[in-house]
Amino acid sequence: MAKGTCPPSPSRALCSRTACIARRVRVSGTLQLQPTSPALLGDELDWPAAATCVARPPQHVTPRSDGAATQLKVQRAVAMGKVAKCLGIGIKGSIRVMLHRESYAAGDVVQGQLVLRVSRPIECEAFSMHVEGAETVAWSEGANHALSSCNMRDEFLCERVELVEPMPSAFEPGGYRFRFRYQLDDTLPPVFRVTGGFAGAMREVNASVSYTIKARLVVQGKMVADLETSHDLAVHRPSLCHPVRSLHKSSSDEVRLLSLMKSRGACEVSTRLDSDVHISGSTLSLQARISNYSSRDMHSISALLYEDLTVELPNRRQSKGTRLVCSQNFPGVAAGQLLDEMLYLPLLDDVSGRPIAPTNSAAFVRWQYRLEIKCRFTLSKSVKVEMPVVILRNVGAPPALGGGAMSPPAMVVVVPGENGEGDAEQQGGMAWSPSQVYAETEGDSVVARPTFILPQAVAAV
């Protein structure tokens, strides 16, 4: 017998015949089979029969806390709900946000209702409602043959919206309404949208500020679609008294053919604005006094409104661009004549025909306006004056949303009061009936109850 070899035994013989030994290792409550290399089964060692099986003590596993387990459960439910919604299965109802007004000024209190329609009994695991605000800017830069697209987004607002009435954990088929209120900050920028602008090397600048109210109801169950909705919120600047000032500017210059020849005389331009603040869509009027002391006839007089766009992004140089927004031409002044009359300029975009956007500013983008009165001479330098003007939003017109379209007419929904009288008159065509709503008064609040017959205006599409 060679030195160091094991005595013959059934277990040892089995080890020498097998290519590997299955080691049972219990880790975290599971059984794993791990192969052992035959090289470790050297005959020079005296292995006992029991050495063919190695047992390791179970590893310690830290149990999850109740909060972490609940959060993980909700995350899984949300993921399953998204899958079910994409597949169009497990849909048991719908929710919708309705606002009491079409638009709100910064600093106002947003009031509305969350309308829930349930077609089959559901149990909810979580509910969330937020208002989000974001500014986005996209542009192209580079050579014409190699333009690169760039974009930047700033999510400056994300706050939770609380319901006035508590949200139950289970719902029977029917309709439910929950009121909510949210206080807007008075420093929020208004909604706007700029398209096709340019600033320096930045081309096709598209910028916007938009607000959205989002609500999600996580429904319990496997392959059950969650109920979610979003609603655009139109925010504009407060309609406060803007400081107004009158402007008076004048300019004069020599009239020279090709700017090289001998002077043919001078031309003087003097303009006066009673107010530097104007309403978008209105007509700007100014008093112009033009003296043509030259021996050449003036070709035309132009009233031009320019938009100066400034884009300022982090870690980049400031970029500026100018665009002619609207213009109006008038007959020129003959040689040696004097003109003193009112000039009018409609504040409508020459391209789209829509009212021009109000003077605005945000984190990335801002634009201002300046008025220019230009006296044109053929083959000679023009004589002009410039004045800054402020354009305000027309209070009677709704602001444009971030998507560029106007917001649809608001549908006002009022929760019936204690007596239930007068509410139907306020709602117009959305009158309530006893078969459509049932409310109970608890203290000073009204608790929403199931609405088994929803008005057509709030039915899910």
Dump pLDDT digits (tens) for 202-261: 888 999 999 999 999 998 887 788 899 999 999 988 876 678 899 999 999 999 888 777
Hey, what CATH topology would domain 74-239+409-458 get? Immunoglobulin-like (2.60.40)
Same fold, 74-239+409-458 and 247-392: yes
Q: Count Cβ atoms within 10 A of the Cβ of residue 326 and give its class: 0-12 exposed, 13-18 middle, 19 or more buried.
A: buried
Specify burial of residue 246 (Cβ count, 10 A radius: 0-12, 13-18, 19+).
exposed
Residue type present at position 217:
L
pLDDT at 125: 87
| CATH hierarchy code of domain 247-392 | 2.60.40.640
Contact 213, 231 (CB under 8 A): yes
Higher pLDDT, residue 207 or 442: 207
Instruction: Give 425's contacts (C-beta < 8 A, 6+ positions apart).
Output: none
Highest-confidence segment of 44-48, 60-64, 367-371: 367-371
Which residue ranges make up each domain of the chain? 74-239+409-458, 247-392
Q: Whole-model pTM? A: 0.63
Map tokens 């679609």 to a residue.
225
The confidence band for 387, taking pLDDT boundaries of 50, 70 and 90, is very high
Q: What six digits make up the tokens of 173? A: 């088929």
Provide the residue type at 332 as one letter.
Answer: G
Residue 438 pLDDT > 50, yes or no?
A: no
Which among 125, 114, 123 has a CA at the least distance from the CA of 92?
123
Mean pLDDT (the chain) is: 75
280 or 77: which leads in pLDDT:
280
Q: What is the largest CA-CA distance in the chain?
A: 135
- The percent of residues above 70 in pLDDT, for the chain, comes to 66
The C-alpha R_g of the chain, in whole angstroms, comes to 37
Cα separation, 348 vs 356, in Å, equals 5
pLDDT (mean) for 253-280: 89
